[in-house]
């Protein structure tokens, strides 16, 4: 039996090494990226050409080596050591690795396993993921460890456990809350994702969690938000909020609960999402006294907002989300089926979605984006999260769409990049390690051969459509290399592997993207 286990381990190691040889190189004792234009995560304007020197996965030097359009003096360049690796990045752009602050590692209902998800993330430059309440804590912690050891192709994982997970009868008292939080920390978790609870339980759990120095996030579920909104959480020590539930409720000034129709049922997904689209218009008006007072208190508490705009975008334009061009090549059949109208699948609320619902959601977005943009303008921390795997949003691609939606909200492209990098690192308490390209930090980096500040679409795996001077339609961009944990990943090779997975699944099922089960 022992010999069989050893043999199996060798086979797994060989297979893992083979995968790496096809899609990745490294890690190297030294890596130099030559002649690149740097777009850092600290809000600074682009700078180049620079040579960036990495030694054993740490940034050792960022050297300005010349001027645009002028030949570089080779004497100004850092020296490549024997056995080192260099990349000629002339004409390319270098960014810090992206941080997805809300990334579920697939799901059993979606049929999307970690290998598929990780490759899509890395192919889009996502090098760190905060994983909020996944399949199980132990499962996610095991993947976190394998990622750290480069045993699998994966980004860095920051694992948050769903509050109360594993508690046989739930959490029913402050002491039970404290005990659960202590056990979660002992298990090695990085933090907790809350969904709301009775006030005394939330207060106890957050207090205990902060004593232990762990992170926290909250999706303020509507079942608890009437007694516990975003302001209550922030005052109790919550460090970040997900989505936007709980924020309009904190802005109510002429009511205490949302104006629900009297036949509303929370278990009906269309009821939930249709009425959510009418929530922001019930809040205090932008820049009113109450609106400003809530914002100022959140700012004073150094509170982080992770809006995840993209996961709600289908609510305002269902056709666009359903027919996004990447579905054809990169969406698994099982995931496509999960997206379809359903009374039992979360986020599949297309029971009868029409113009009126979309108009309400467009107004909802305008008010929501106004608050988030102003929060950023006043110095508040806004991060970038995708919440992919639901509502027609695909891993990696949805992250880039989130960047575009931050731009729509009013962020300058440099502010968008900062939200995707340094702001996320600060929210995770990791800004001394990641989030910007600085000496001493880890070498999480992205190389793109087109300027993402001019067009964020060049970050999509499908690139951006462009007409050449010869009147030829071409695709440009797509992340070229993602560097994570010392390994250089060929992003397009990763996408090819994902497409092969999808093609194989389609062939096995004789599958078409035509919406399953619809009677014409």
- 155: its two tokens: 């980004």
Tell me what pLDDT residue 17 has. Answer: 47
**What is the spatial distance between Cα 266 and Cα 244, in angstroms, rounded to a whole number?**
17
- For every residue of 67-94, DSSP letters joined together read -TTSPPPGGGSPPPPTT-EEEE-TT-EE
Binned at pLDDT 50, 70 and 90, residue 10 comes out as: very low
Tell me what pLDDT residue 72 has. Answer: 93
**What is the spatial distance between Cα 453 and Cα 459, in angstroms, rounded to a whole number?**
10
Cα atoms in the 13 Å half-sphere on the side-chain side of 302: 7
Assess whether pLDDT exceeds 90 at residue 187. Answer: yes
- Domain boundaries 98-427, CATH class: alpha beta
**What is the spatial distance between Cα 461 and Cα 421, in angstroms, rounded to a whole number?**
19
Nearest residue to 415 via CA among 366, 463, 453, 370: 453
**What is the spatial distance between Cα 458 and Cα 452, in angstroms, rounded to a whole number?**
6
Helices (H), 113-173: 114-123, 137-148
CA–chain centroid gap for 274, Å, is 25
SS3 481: strand
Tell me what pLDDT residue 517 has. Answer: 52
Contact status, residue 321 vs residue 412, Cβ threshold 8 Å: no
Binned at pLDDT 50, 70 and 90, residue 396 comes out as: very high
Binned at pLDDT 50, 70 and 90, residue 18 comes out as: very low
**Where are the chain's structural domains?**
98-427
User: For 253-287, b where at least 16 C-beta lie within 10 A, e where not — what string?
Assistant: eeeeebeeeeeeeeeebbbbbbbbbbbbebbbeee
Q: What is the rounded average pLDDT of the residues 386-402?
A: 97
Residue 474: count of CB within 10 angstroms of its CB: 11
Contact status, residue 60 vs residue 54, Cβ threshold 8 Å: yes
- The per-residue pLDDT for range 438-482, each reduced to its tens digit, is 999 999 999 999 999 999 999 999 999 999 999 999 999 999 999
CA–chain centroid gap for 427, Å, is 13
Assess whether pLDDT exceeds 90 at residue 513. Answer: no
- For every residue of 43-67, DSSP letters joined together read SPPPEEEEEEEEETTEEEEEEE---
Tell me what pLDDT residue 500 has. Answer: 96
**Which residues make Cβ contacts (< 8 Å) with residue 366, sequence separation at least 6?**
none
- 401: its two tokens: 């769409």
What mean pLDDT value characterizes the chain? 93
Residue 323: count of CB within 10 angstroms of its CB: 11
- 382: its two tokens: 């806004």
**What is the spatial distance between Cα 195 and Cα 311, in angstroms, rounded to a whole number?**
17
Tell me what pLDDT residue 183 has. Answer: 97
- The per-residue pLDDT for range 284-299, each reduced to its tens digit, is 999 999 999 999 999 9
**What is the spatial distance between Cα 114 and Cα 71, in angstroms, rounded to a whole number?**
45
Nearest residue to 434 via CA among 8, 188, 172, 98: 98
Binned at pLDDT 50, 70 and 90, residue 45 comes out as: very high
Contact status, residue 217 vs residue 240, Cβ threshold 8 Å: yes
Q: What is the pTM of this model?
A: 0.93
Binned at pLDDT 50, 70 and 90, residue 134 comes out as: confident
| Percent of the chain surpassing pLDDT 70 | 94
**What is the spatial distance between Cα 315 and Cα 353, in angstroms, rounded to a whole number?**
8
Binned at pLDDT 50, 70 and 90, residue 4 comes out as: very low
Q: What is the DSSP letter of 44?
A: P
Contact status, residue 299 vs residue 291, Cβ threshold 8 Å: no
Q: What backbone torsions phi and psi does residue 442 show, to the nearest 5 degrees?
A: -70, 150
- The per-residue pLDDT for range 77-98, each reduced to its tens digit, is 999 999 999 999 999 999 999 9
Least confident piece of the model among 16-30, 78-92, 215-229, 444-458: 16-30
Tell me what pLDDT residue 421 has. Answer: 98
Least confident piece of the model among 165-169, 379-383, 460-464: 165-169
Helix (H) or strand (E) holding 500: helix 491-509
Tell me what pLDDT residue 512 has. Answer: 77
Tell me what pLDDT residue 232 has. Answer: 96
- The per-residue pLDDT for range 242-278, each reduced to its tens digit, is 999 999 999 999 999 999 999 999 999 999 999 999 9
């Amino acid at each position: 039996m022992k010999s069989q286990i050893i043999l199996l381990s060798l086979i797994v190691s060989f297979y893992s090494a083979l995968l790496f040889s096809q899609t990745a190189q490294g890690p190297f004792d030294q890596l130099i990226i030559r002649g690149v234009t740097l777009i850092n995560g600290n809000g600074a304007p682009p700078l180049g050409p620079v040579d960036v020197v990495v030694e054993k996965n740490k940034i050792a030097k960022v050297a300005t080596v010349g001027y645009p359009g002028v030949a570089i003096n080779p004497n100004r360049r850092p020296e490549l050591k024997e056995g080192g690796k260099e990349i000629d990045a002339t004409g390319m752009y270098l960014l810090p690795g992206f941080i997805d602050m809300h990334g579920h590692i697939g799901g059993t209902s979606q049929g999307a396993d970690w290998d598929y998800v990780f490759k899509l993330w890395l192919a889009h430059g996502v090098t760190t993921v905060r994983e909020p309440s996944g399949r199980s804590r132990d499962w996610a912690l095991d993947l976190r460890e394998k990622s750290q050891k480069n045993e699998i192709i994966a980004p860095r994982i920051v694992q948050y456990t769903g509050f109360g997970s594993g508690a046989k009868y739930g959490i029913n008292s402050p002491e039970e809350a404290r005990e659960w939080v202590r056990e979660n920390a002992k298990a090695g978790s990085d933090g907790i994702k809350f969904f709301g609870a009775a006030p005394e339980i939330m207060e106890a759990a957050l207090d205990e969690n902060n004593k232990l120095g762990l992170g926290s996030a909250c999706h303020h579920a509507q079942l608890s938000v009437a007694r516990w909104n975003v302001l209550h959480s922030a005052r109790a020590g919550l460090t970040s909020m997900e989505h936007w539930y709980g924020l309009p409720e904190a802005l109510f000034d002429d009511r205490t609960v949302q104006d629900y129709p009297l036949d509303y049922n929370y278990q009906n997904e269309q009821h939930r999402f249709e009425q959510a689209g009418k929530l922001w218009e019930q809040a205090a008006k932008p820049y009113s006294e109450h609106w400003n007072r809530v914002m100022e208190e959140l700012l004073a508490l150094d509170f982080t907002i992770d809006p995840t705009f993209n996961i709600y975008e289908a609510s305002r334009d269902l056709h666009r989300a359903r027919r996004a061009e990447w579905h054809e090549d990169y969406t698994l059949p099982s995931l496509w089926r999960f997206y379809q109208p359903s009374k039992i699948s979360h986020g599949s609320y297309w029971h009868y979605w029409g113009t009126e619902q979309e108009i309400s959601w467009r107004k909802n977005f305008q008010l929501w984006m106004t608050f988030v943009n102003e929060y950023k303008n006043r110095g508040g921390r806004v991060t970038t999260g995708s919440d992919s795997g639901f509502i027609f949003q695909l891993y990696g691609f949805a992250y880039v769409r989130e960047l575009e939606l931050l731009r729509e909200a009013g962020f300058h492209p440099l502010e968008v990049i900062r939200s995707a990098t340094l702001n996320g690192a600060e929210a995770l308490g990791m800004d001394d390690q990641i989030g910007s390209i600085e000496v001493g930090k880890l070498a999480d980096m992205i190389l793109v051969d087109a300027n993402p500040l001019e067009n964020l679409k060049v970050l999509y795996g499908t690139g951006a459509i462009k007409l050449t001077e010869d009147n030829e339609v071409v695709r440009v961009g797509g992340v070229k290399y993602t560097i994570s944990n010392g390994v250089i990943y060929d992003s397009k090779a990763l996408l090819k592997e994902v497409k092969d997975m999808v093609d194989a699944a389609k062939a096995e099922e004789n599958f078409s993207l035509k919406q399953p089960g619809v009677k014409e």
